[in-house]
Amino acid sequence: MQKFEEKKFDIPKLKGISQKNIEEHLKLYAGYVKNINLILEQENTRLGFEFNGMRNHEYYFASLENGSTPLTVNGPLHKTITEEFEDFDKWLEKFKSLATTRGVGWAMLYYDPLTKQLLNAWVDEHHLGQLNGCKTILALDMWEHAFVADYQPSGKKNYIEDFFANLNWKAIEQNFKDAQ
């Protein structure tokens, strides 16, 4: 069976999220890649947890690569969000609220190719709540390792704000284009 390889990410200095935190977070991601390869050799029941942990982190880190870029106003993603959620700011407010869900997991924006719609979803841990058949557009890591070192547990909302301030919307727009 083909082994998975650890991807490398070029993440610049970020607002509010320290380089040390990114380095530690990347080590955790490397562990998911290592563990998925070990599990594939053993047919272990943790396949979904490790695999989704690896993939979710790849979406997360790719969205922080190459610096912050704005969302293209009236581009396909902006237009779709506005049509489906009435207003971009309403969607953003709902997504940020979702990200404050109690517990560890992921705030995700998916595209369902069958119904051709965007869906916000909370994923517990890595493997509980993934939307089968949907394509990941945006993945926000809400495990404590993603923010506690820089924000403390009480700083979850500040971390979310800084995540969006650092977001490379071109990468997110490409995910949307690829999903269609």
Domain limits, the chain: 18-180
Structural contact between residues 118 and 108, judged by C-beta atoms closer than 8 angstroms: no
Q: What is the pLDDT of residues 40-67, one digit of tens each?
A: 888 778 889 999 999 999 999 999 999 9
Q: What is the pLDDT of residues 118-132, one digit of tens each?
A: 999 999 988 888 999
Q: What is the CATH number of domain 18-180?
A: 3.55.40.20
Which secondary-structure segment (H or E) carries 123?
strand 117-124
